Structure 1
Amino acid sequence: MKTLALIFLGLITNAQTNVVSDKPVSKGEELHFKLSYGWFTIGRGSFKISDEYVMRDGKECIAIDVHGKTAGLAGVFSKVDDKWGAVIDKDTFLPYYSFRNISEGNDDLDERAYFDYDSMQVKVESTSKSDPEVSPTKYFDLEEGKIFDMMGGIMYARSIDYRGLVKGDTIQLDAFFDDEFYDFEMIYHGIEITKTKVGDIYCHKVVPIMQKNSVFKGSDAVTFWISADANRLPLKVAANMNFGKAYCELTSYKNVKSGIDFD
């Protein structure tokens, strides 16, 4: 699940990227995903936006909750039940609060992050029964205009104005996750009709340049497809991994900004 989170973080861009004015924020939006390896379904996930706005520092914010867990035979070998969430500004997507409750086999982590834009610091509080060495409190310096949590990053990525890009354009990526900073690039591959679980849809295709690691196979191992419409839905992720090819695909949605529900 951490690997899947890092895949989605590949969409987080710096503040220099142009974004659309009609951001795809819809109260009550629900997205459901399937994670598969070959012919086998190994996990399922959901992404939900709150029904009402949450006020923080006099600004309207959305609360996002994400749940991922193993499914099918995968649960026999290693049970995963992870919960993520955040409260982020509905316009800038900057976070005020985020959390993650991780339960993966014998490993666990309960983490809370509080973002203070007066002191420009984020306070991270963590506990773990499986790892007594987890630091209970940590502080990290924030930078003006940066995206520093996964939920805000996903929403920001959905708001990129891909219409202003041409095939071959490069977008610089900045991300912060699991106490680490990530700097890499993403190549825009244009628009194509893509077969997905929710239909054949015009999509923006993007490929992050992956650094050499023990998980992904090759520098262009991961490909994203984002719907080229007002919803800019994360439709599909394909990853060439050292143990085979894995997919994360949108299977249903409701309460999106434009169009009817797909169950």
Structure 2
Amino acid sequence: MKAKHLIIFLLTLFASSFSLKAQNANILIVPPFQIGEELTYRFRYGIFNCAEGTMRVEESPKEFNHIKPYRLIAKGETVSAVALITKVRNRYDSYVSPTTLKPFLFTESVREGTYKRDGYASFDHKNKVVNSTKGSFPIGDNTLDVLSVLYYARSLDFANIKKGGTIKFDFFLDDHTYPIAITYLGNETIKTPFGKISCMKFSPTVVEGRVFRKNSKMYLWVTNDANRVPVRAEVEILIGSLRLDLTNYKNLKYPVGSNVSDGNQRASN
């Protein structure tokens, strides 16, 4: 995989651990995140650190249809020896409704070596169309962008999801809508820089081609608590493997390991 595609690919990888069309998975009234939350990640290719990224939630300076949205921000940059080969400094912003968590606007600022690109995607959910830098495209009822899908998914009620169940969703990126199917593998306790954490484990399907080899495996771990924070992702690619790990967090809405009082966010094994 080219280094310039690494950041957005790994954001997409984490986003793909959830379902927008999941049966028995409705959005919760109160999102499991708050303004001020910040998550920091390290990307590794084999034994090498290759990139770092942050995702945070801010109060938006913009309004859409007289609604004050959340502003979701993701930044990524190459580090160490990779930065000497290709310097990547990318930023992605998504402005989402505070009630439905659907996006009003997605923007990107891509800085990869001497290459620069600024793009946008404006979502018209009423008319089921997205207007972007590359044109206008039809979308489904719940199609989100690659960043808002993660926060939307964290807000789903997984109370009735069963081990081995497969669920599907779609998200829009560039000029395409991408379908993904994932399987819930149950709960697993993993070691992290913050101690052992109980997580929900997922395995999304991958498509053989430029990035994945035949029978490539992808696994994702998300905290099985009230915060639903992605803590790890692993995926096999054409040459080697990629891994993403949470290295720091700030201003989580709930203490790590806590559960929502009504139990709606607990998954069953």
| TM range, smaller chain | 0.7 to 0.9
1:45-86 superposed Cα distances (whole Å, 9 cap, x missing partner) = 000100468643243420011110001111011111110001
Answering whether residue 136 of structure 2 is matched by residue 139 of structure 1, we say yes
Structure 1 position 218, deviation (Å): 4.2
**Aligned ranges 1:11-30 → 2 under 5 Å:** 11-17=17-23, 18-19=25-26, 20-30=28-38
Please name the residue that 1:131 is paired with. Answer: none
Answering whether residue 31 of structure 2 is matched by residue 35 of structure 1, we say no
Please name the residue that 1:249 is paired with. Answer: 245
1:143-177 superposed Cα distances (whole Å, 9 cap, x missing partner) = 32x12211220012212333322210001121221
Coordinate RMSD, CA, aligned: 2.0
Using the TM superposition, name which of 101-110 and 12-21 deviates more.
Answer: 12-21
Answering whether residue 16 of structure 2 is matched by residue 10 of structure 1, we say yes
- Work out whether residues 204 and 225 of structure 1, in 8 Å CA contact, stay in contact via their aligned partners in 2: yes
Structure 1 position 22, deviation (Å): 3.7
Distance of 1:2 and 1:202 partners within structure 2: 27
Tell me the TM-score normalized by structure 2: 0.85
- Work out whether residues 162 and 204 of structure 1, in 8 Å CA contact, stay in contact via their aligned partners in 2: no
2:122 pairs with one of 105, 111, 114: 114
Count of matched residue positions in the alignment of Structure 1 and Structure 2: 248
Secondary structure, in 3 states, of the residue corresponding to 1:6?
helix
Distance of 1:52 and 1:80 partners within structure 2: 26
Over 3 Å counting, the alpha-carbon distance change for 1:253 and 1:53 in structure 2 is: farther
Over 3 Å counting, the alpha-carbon distance change for 1:219 and 1:154 in structure 2 is: farther
**Aligned ranges 1:1-263 → 2 under 5 Å:** 1-17=7-23, 18-19=25-26, 20-51=28-59, 55-125=63-133, 135=134, 138-144=135-141, 146-219=142-215, 221-259=217-255
Secondary structure, in 3 states, of the residue corresponding to 1:164?
coil
Distance of 2:59 and 2:195 partners within structure 1: 26
Structure 1 position 200, deviation (Å): 1.1
Distance of 1:16 and 1:37 partners within structure 2: 31
Secondary structure, in 3 states, of the residue corresponding to 2:151?
helix
Structure 1 position 88, deviation (Å): 0.4
- Work out whether residues 28 and 255 of structure 1, in 8 Å CA contact, stay in contact via their aligned partners in 2: yes
- Work out whether residues 25 and 90 of structure 1, in 8 Å CA contact, stay in contact via their aligned partners in 2: no
Please name the residue that 1:130 is paired with. Answer: none
Higher relative contact order (CA 8 A, sep 6+): 2
- Work out whether residues 203 and 227 of structure 1, in 8 Å CA contact, stay in contact via their aligned partners in 2: yes
Amino acid paired to 1:39: I
Amino acid paired to 1:72: S
Structure 1 position 114, deviation (Å): 1.8
- Work out whether residues 198 and 250 of structure 1, in 8 Å CA contact, stay in contact via their aligned partners in 2: no
Higher strand proportion (structure 1 or 2): 1
Identity %, equivalent residues: 26
- Any stretches of 5+ residues in structure 1 without a counterpart? 126-134
Distance of 1:11 and 1:191 partners within structure 2: 14
Distance of 1:243 and 1:157 partners within structure 2: 30
Distance of 1:183 and 1:191 partners within structure 2: 24
Amino acid paired to 1:124: S
Please name the residue that 1:132 is paired with. Answer: none
Distance of 2:146 and 2:18 partners within structure 1: 8
Distance of 1:207 and 1:166 partners within structure 2: 14
Amino acid paired to 2:88: V
Structure 1 position 11, deviation (Å): 3.0
Structure 1 position 211, deviation (Å): 1.7
